[in-house]
Amino acid sequence: MDPKDIKHLNPKLAPGASDPIETVPEPELHPGDDPLDKIAEVHTRVLDTIAGFEKLSEKAEPEFKPVADAFLTTHQKHEAELAGYLRKMGRDPNDDGSFFGAVNSSLIEIRSWFEDVTADVMDRVKEGEKHVFEAYEQARDTGQTIEANAMLSYHMEQLNALLRAHAV
């Protein structure tokens, strides 16, 4: 392409252009703001949530079991997608979750000794999902790739749809 053609398309890019190209400064990253670290945090929280829903599904009364299973299946699908993305980007995803996952599972076990696991637990489910959503939002707001943002947004939409479908 002839340099004169470039000047007609975008004068700022033409050789010898007097105005420098305006650039938007890169956002300043602080410790813990690495976009992949944020996705890894989402992955850990999803693993923790899976541990809770595995126990919830196990202890659920028959009328609530399909709800618990729907959340469990969705989180398992999301975990696999998050882990796959992290691997693709050269990260080794955590397979164990955090201490919170073990606590979550234990709390559900203990509650099941004293009360039936029915739709009455949906308020606690919503609180747990809020913890996951916070991680998704933080990850999405930390300069992700288009691919990562699409995945994160899609996961959030699916979780919102589940919460709306099973609102009490």
Domain ranges of the chain: 34-165
Residue 9 has pLDDT above 80, yes or no: no
Token pair recorded at residue 134:
């916070």
* Whether pLDDT at 32 is above 60: no
Element containing residue 81 per DSSP (H, E): helix 65-88
Contact 59, 117 (CB under 8 A): yes
Q: Given the structure tokens 């969705």, which residue do they identify?
A: 74
Q: Look at domain 34-165 and name its CATH class.
A: mainly alpha
Confidence of residue 158 (pLDDT cuts 50, 70, 90): very high
**Alpha carbons 38 and 88: distance in angstroms, whole number:** 15
What pLDDT score does 93 carry?
85
Higher-pLDDT residue of 100, 55: 55
pLDDT at 102: 44
Q: What is the pTM of this model?
A: 0.71
Q: Tokens 């009455």 map to which residue? A: 120
